């Protein structure tokens, strides 16, 4: 288990390499939900997601730097890893599933990653990536399950401490793919001594955590049937499942259409284009306004790796009216 000291040490090390992301008050969502809403803009990180936190921390945890880093990703984790590798002048190989958008593939290649396409989903890509690791030469960074990755993602909480009094926060909301983001921050909230309700959000078709918690056992999806590909892990680990059972008070699952509608609402009101794996949070909030009434809530705006063309295609596919 990760201690308070480890979280604080990780943040002290991380901030030497990664700038603090904004925490802004949302007038629009505060009025919509009849509460106080803050947005932690992790989409403003290098790589446009929170993923660089875990990647940098994983590298910093090494006593001796390897020659190469290998990972598997649905897109965002790979971006965080290759950017972290560039900081430390390391080679980087990213294995992507076939479902990864060309937009993300091009981003990774332009940043210098050696990109391999393998498997129908992240799980198959991950299995192949681990087979490429050479002892003493390369290091594998898991997308969500490593302690060092969860610790890095959990540095969001000590960073928010510098921006807002967390004793006045009632609810913390984040989306879930494999679960590293919410697991890391759930543990950080506990270890740093805050009493904050934690809510997780998934999209239908990528809702392995919600199904697992409902069945009280680890569930593996047959396929990822959601456009939110960065939430596309078919299953998680027993450790992360146990953390979710202990800390997450509620899971909300929204459909793809609702996520796309929320994507465009957020773009119109906040002037930020976010991906469905993030806009699902906004959809969940707008569909469950009573949960947030008279509450102070932080939403983690975790990623914005989406192109205008992708967004417009989804708008047409789901018949979203602006």
Are residue 129 and residue 267 in the same domain, yes or no?
no
Are residue 45 and residue 58 in the same domain, yes or no?
no
Are residue 217 and residue 298 in the same domain, yes or no?
yes
Are residue 199 and residue 293 in the same domain, yes or no?
yes
Which of 111, 93, 13, 19 has its CA nearest to residue 56? 13
Are residue 116 and residue 259 in the same domain, yes or no?
no
The predicted structure's pLDDT at residue 230: 65
Are residue 38 and residue 74 in the same domain, yes or no?
no
The predicted structure's pLDDT at residue 231: 66
Final residue of a structural domain among 129, 144, 159: 144
Are residue 139 and residue 176 in the same domain, yes or no?
no
CATH number (domain holding residue 184): 3.40.50.1100
**Domain of 122?**
51-144
Give the other-Cβ count within 10 Å of 159's Cβ. 20
Tokens in use for 322?
Answer: 């602006």
Are residue 198 and residue 298 in the same domain, yes or no?
yes
Q: Angle at CA 107, nearest 5°, toward 149 and 184? A: 15
Secondary structure of 15-30 in the HEC alphabet?
Answer: CCCCCCCCEEECHHHH
Tokens in use for 72?
Answer: 């598997």
Final residue of a structural domain among 125, 144, 163: 144
Are residue 204 and residue 290 in the same domain, yes or no?
yes
The answer to whether 267 and 38 are in contact (CB under 8 A) is no
Which of 82, 191, 209, 86 has its CA nearest to residue 141? 82
Residues of the chain with pLDDT under 70: 229-232
Which of 17, 298, 51 has its CA nearest to residue 163? 298
The predicted structure's pLDDT at residue 224: 84
* Strand pairing report for 23-25 and 36-41: antiparallel
Are residue 100 and residue 175 in the same domain, yes or no?
no
Cα first-last separation, the chain = 46
Are residue 37 and residue 68 in the same domain, yes or no?
no
Q: How many domains does the chain have?
A: 2
Percent composition of the chain: helix, strand, coil (DSSP 3-state, to 5)? 50, 15, 35
Are residue 37 and residue 77 in the same domain, yes or no?
no
Final residue of a structural domain among 144, 178, 196: 144
Tokens in use for 222?
Answer: 């047959």
């Amino acid at each position: 288990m990760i201690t308070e000291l480890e979280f604080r040490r990780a943040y002290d090390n991380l901030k030497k390499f990664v700038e603090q992301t904004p925490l802004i008050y949302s007038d629009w969502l505060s009025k919509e939900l009849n509460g106080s809403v803050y947005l932690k803009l992790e989409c403003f990180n290098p790589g446009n997601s929170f993923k660089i936190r875990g990647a940098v921390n994983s590298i910093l945890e090494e006593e001796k730097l390897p020659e190469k880093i290998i990972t598997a990703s649905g897109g965002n984790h790979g971006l965080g890893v290759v950017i972290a590798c560039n900081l430390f002048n390391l080679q980087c190989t990213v294995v992507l599933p076939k479902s990864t958008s060309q937009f993300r593939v091009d981003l990774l290649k332009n940043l210098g990653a050696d990109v391999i396409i393998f498997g129908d989903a992240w799980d198959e890509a991950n299995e192949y990536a681990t087979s490429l690791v050479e002892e003493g030469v390369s290091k594998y960074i898991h997308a969500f399950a490593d302690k060092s990755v969860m610790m890095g993602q959990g540095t969001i909480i000590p960073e928010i401490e510098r921006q807002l009094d967390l004793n006045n926060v009632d609810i913390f909301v984040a989306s879930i793919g494999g679960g590293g983001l919410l697991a890391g921050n759930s543990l950080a909230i506990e270890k740093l001594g805050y009493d904050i309700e934690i809510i997780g959000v998934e999209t239908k078709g990528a809702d392995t955590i919600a199904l697992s918690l409902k069945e009280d056992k680890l569930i593996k999806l047959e396929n990822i049937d959601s456009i939110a590909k960065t939430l596309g892990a078919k299953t998680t680990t027993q450790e992360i499942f146990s953390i979710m059972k202990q800390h997450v008070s509620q899971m909300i699952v929204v459909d793809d259409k609702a996520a796309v509608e929320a994507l465009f609402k957020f773009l119109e009101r906040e002037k930020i284009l976010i991906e469905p794996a993030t806009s699902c949070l906004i959809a969940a909030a707008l569909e469950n306004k009573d949960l947030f009434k008279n509450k102070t809530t932080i939403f983690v705006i975790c990623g914005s790796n989406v192109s205008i063309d992708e967004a417009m295609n989804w708008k047409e596919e789901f018949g979203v009216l602006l």
